[in-house]
Amino acid sequence: MGRNTVSARAVIGTHVENWDGENLGNITDIMLEKADGEIAYLELSYPGEYGRRYPNKRFAVPFEAIAKKIMDGGKAEYIMDVQEEFLQQAPGYDTSNPPDFADKRFCSLLKDYYKNVSVDIRV
């Protein structure tokens, strides 16, 4: 693999938090575009009290809404510049009934919801 590539195994299970250090979940899957192989969405599980009430709820987060941050010791984690309440209101789905990612309405809903999420890296 080249310098700008990463194994899907290295991404799945990775912790996601916001700049305030709030745990936003873990990446549980990666959705690829069939036509070009590009990453379309990262599937995010949601933790905390809300996550305990809805353990099978997942969020399809556009790849552009999450940024990689290298921690001390070289470990990677991902940052999403949103508050926990943002995810509580985000369109999500149950693992037993995943959405049709080819559905243009669903994709449009996701893009619209995440359109203002910044990925500016502050180090």
pLDDT at 22 over 70: yes
Residue 123's pLDDT is what? 44
User: Which is higher by pLDDT, 42 or 4?
Assistant: 42
For 82-112, write each residue's pLDDT tens digit: 888 888 888 888 888 888 888 889 889 998 9
> pTM surpassing 0.85?
no
Could you tell me the maximum CA-CA distance found in the chain, to the nearest angstrom? Answer: 42
**CATH homologous superfamily, domain 8-113:** PRC-barrel domain (2.30.30.240)
Sign of the CA dihedral with 2 first, then 15, 121, and 62 last: positive
pLDDT at 57 over 70: yes
For 7-20, write each residue's pLDDT tens digit: 888 889 988 988 88
3-state secondary structure of 53: helix
Q: Is 41 exposed, middle or buried, given 0-12, 13-18 or 19+ CB atoms closer than 10 A?
A: buried
Residue 53's pLDDT is what? 62
Residue 17's pLDDT is what? 87
Domain ranges for the chain, please list them.
Answer: 8-113
